[in-house]
Amino acid sequence: MKNSLKLLFVLTIVFLFTSCGRGPLGCPDGEIEWIHALKIKDVKYEHDFPDPHDQVELNIVQGDELGEVSYKMADDACSYYKMKNGDATYLEEGTTIYSIKDTPISLAVLANDQVFVVEQNTKAKTVGEYYPIKGLIKSIHIESTLDGRRLHTFSDASTKVFLEEWLALPLQNQEKLLKGNTDDQKSIFLEFELNNGITFREVYWRDNKTFHVDAVGTERLAETIEKEYSLIHE
């Protein structure tokens, strides 16, 4: 009986210390700056706030209901909390999450009239599976790494080559690829603008031809990016 009580006590302590809510140490455990994100169907999405100087006009139609927010992390979760399906950082519990018409669910969803774009999809094996944007791209822009201003727009020919090469790239180990990629002077911000106005950003490191999405570019892809980058006139 005593052993059973000890086991119950230990399990209770473990639960309290690993719980998402306020345990004995108190949660949240400090000032936590969450990104504006949500998770559903095993995909984590992030809301991308357009830069003030970008003229972004969304032309989206709400699709089917996918679910709702079951837990709001802000002001409640500990810093070590791992996001689960139904969680959101800032959206209120009960907020409905919708698909977007003519947009793959794994790419973007809609909640509280805000668009959330994929930020993590562990099931994706290629860039094209992570970003299913084939046939959806309006333009690819190069942005300033200082303030996010659009500096240049890819030509149609370069856009075609870029997408052919980029979407076919296999995804690789993130820690291995991004190790040492800390010099902003050697990085390029690429903004992808969809036909419906949705935008998202990818970072490309010129030295080792790697992308933030965890992929290594081909020589043809690198040549295309450098060609467009050389045309920038600030």
Q: Are residues 139 and 75 in the same domain?
A: no
Q: Locate tokens 């490191």: which residue?
A: 205
Q: Are residues 113 and 60 in the same domain?
A: yes
CA 199 – CA 138 distance, rounded (Å): 10
Q: Are residues 201 and 156 in the same domain?
A: yes
Query: Tell me: the pLDDT tens digits for 215-225?
Result: 999 999 999 99
Indicate the number of domains in the chain. Answer: 2
In the 8-state DSSP scheme, what is residue 78?
-
Helix and strand totals (H; E) in the chain: 5, 14
Name the token pair of 136: 């959806």
Sign of CA dihedral 142, 148, 151, 156: positive
Give residue 192's pLDDT.
97
Residue ending a domain, among 73, 98, 122, is 122
Q: Are residues 154 and 195 in the same domain?
A: yes
In the 8-state DSSP scheme, what is residue 50?
P
- Asked, for residue 142, whether it belongs to a domain, the answer is yes
Query: Could you state, in chain order, the average pLDDT of each consecutive group of 10 residues for the chain (234 residues)?
Result: 39 40 58 90 88 71 97 92 96 98 97 96 97 97 93 97 98 67 74 96 95 96 97 80
Give residue 164's pLDDT.
97
Q: Are residues 44 and 142 in the same domain?
A: no
Query: Tell me: the pLDDT tens digits for 122-175?
Result: 999 999 999 999 999 999 999 999 999 999 999 999 999 999 999 999 999 766
Give residue 48's pLDDT.
76
Do residues 160 and 214 lie in contact, with contact meaning Cβ atoms separated by under 8 Å? Answer: no
Residue ending a domain, among 94, 122, 150, is 122
Give residue 14's pLDDT.
38
- Quick check: helix, strand or coil at residue 162? helix
Q: Are residues 39 and 132 in the same domain?
A: no
Q: Give the range of the structural domain holding residue 140, as residue numbers without chain letter.
A: 124-234
Which string of DSSP letters, residue by residue, matches 6-75?
Answer: HHHHHHHHHHHHH-SS--TT-SS-S-----SEEEETTEEEEE-PPPTTS-------EEEEEEE--EE-TT
Q: Locate tokens 């490309």: which residue?
A: 204
- Asked, for residue 10, whether it belongs to a domain, the answer is no
Residue ending a domain, among 122, 150, 175, is 122
